[in-house]
Amino acid sequence: MVIQPSACPSGDERVVLFGLLLETNARLSKSLGLELESTCNLPLAWFEVLLQLRKSSDGRLKMNEVADAIVHSTGGTTRLIDRLEEAGLVERQDCTNDRRAIYVGITELGNRKLDEALSIHLDYLQDNMASRLSDDERHTLAALLTKLNTPR
């Protein structure tokens, strides 16, 4: 069976644009992940969790908030947190006002590891993004990505 071009609009501008977003994200994530693992032995997923915890107001988030922040399933996040906890980078904490909720907090070791990774991350961003785009292009890109990430 031959698929007619009109039935599969792979050249449609929207399809192409989405493909570029996916490809750019995949390439940058893969190369950053390799850089973080080779230089400071920190997988990208671990870096993302530690960064989200650092960005929170008190260095901790509920487990479901971590899952939402890193766009993972709750089951996948639980396994990820298990590995981070085994490495001493995070700790689980009980929630005093909700026995069903568990907080995940960044440890001192986790903060030190994140500082190390952020130094590498900033160099990576300079080499692979900032130096390739003008100030105006970076501002425009940030505004457009923010707009796409805002819920409707």
pLDDT band at residue 96, thresholds of 50, 70 and 90? confident
pLDDT at 30: 96
**Sign of the CA dihedral with 69 first, then 72, 74, and 80 last:** negative
Between residues 145 and 1, the one the model is more confident about:
145
CA pair distance 56, 54, nearest whole angstrom:
5
Q: Residues 53, 106: contact at Cβ < 8 Å?
A: yes
What the chain holds in terms of domains, given with CATH numbers, is 43-137 (1.10.10.10)
Residue 3 has pLDDT above 90, yes or no: no
pLDDT at 152: 87
CA-only gyration radius of the chain, Å: 19
In the chain the first and final C-alpha atoms are separated, in Å, by 39
Q: What is the mean pLDDT of residues 6-16?
A: 78
Q: What is the mean pLDDT of residues 89-98?
A: 87
Residue 79 has pLDDT above 70, yes or no: yes
Reduce the DSSP state of residue 90 to 3 states and report it. Answer: strand
pLDDT at 130: 94
Q: What is the mean pLDDT of residues 77-95?
A: 93
- What pLDDT digit, counting tens, does each position of 100-147 carry? 788 999 999 999 999 999 999 999 999 999 999 999 999 999 999 999
